[in-house]
């Protein structure tokens, strides 16, 4: 009997997507390049520490590019590479799934 097994590339993909915040960061950047402070504004509750960690990992994985503009104060912009932009379809499907299935719990009024 032939046993099912996972694809190693898929496993590696989820070493990225399976980390907290990664899916949200990439989603933000699909909207266009963003600065560090844009990301902390847009992503609720992410801390500077973890955002910095995540950006380093994503840059290391070739998913984002960090561009430095020597303005005053310095402007640093993060943008997606082709590899990063190519995640759009996958994240769009997550979005569609979420719209169909995720229920937002309302707080009781009163």
From the list 13, 17, 32, 66, which residue makes contact with DNA (rule: CB under 7 A)?
66
The smaller minimum CB distance to DNA, of residues 21 and 91, is found at 21
Calculate the alpha carbon distances from 16 to 57, 58, 96, 99 in Å.
Answer: 9, 8, 21, 23
Residue 9 φ then ψ, to 5°: -70, -40
Do residues 30 and 80 lie in contact, with contact meaning Cβ atoms separated by under 8 Å?
A: yes
Which one of the spans 18-26, 48-56, 67-75 is the region binding its own copies (CB under 8 A)?
Answer: 18-26
- Binding status of residue 37 toward its own copies by CB under 8 A: no
Which of 1, 68, 72, 99 binds its own copies (CB under 8 A)? It is: 99
Name which of 70 and 89 has its Cβ closer to its own copies: 89
Which residue from 75, 86, 93, 95 is in contact with DNA, where contact means CB under 7 A? Answer: 75
d(CA 92, CA 110): 36
Chain centre distance of CA 42: 12
CA 40: distance to chain centroid? 12
- Residue 24 lies near its own copies (rule: CB under 8 A): yes
Q: Which residues bind DNA (CB under 7 A)?
A: 19-21, 35-38, 45-50, 52-53, 55, 66, 72-77
């Amino acid at each position: 009997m032939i046993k099912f097994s996972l694809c190693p590339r898929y496993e590696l993909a989820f070493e990225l997507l399976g980390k907290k915040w990664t899916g949200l960061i990439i989603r933000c950047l699909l909207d266009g390049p963003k600065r560090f402070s844009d990301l902390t504004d847009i992503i609720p509750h992410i801390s500077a520490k973890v955002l910095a960690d995540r950006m380093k990992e994503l840059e290391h994985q070739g998913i984002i590019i960090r561009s430095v503009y020597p303005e005053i104060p310095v402007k640093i912009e993060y943008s997606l590479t082709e590899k990063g932009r190519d995640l759009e379809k996958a994240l769009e499907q997550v979005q569609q799934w979420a719209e169909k299935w995720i229920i937002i719990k309302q707080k009781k009024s009163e």
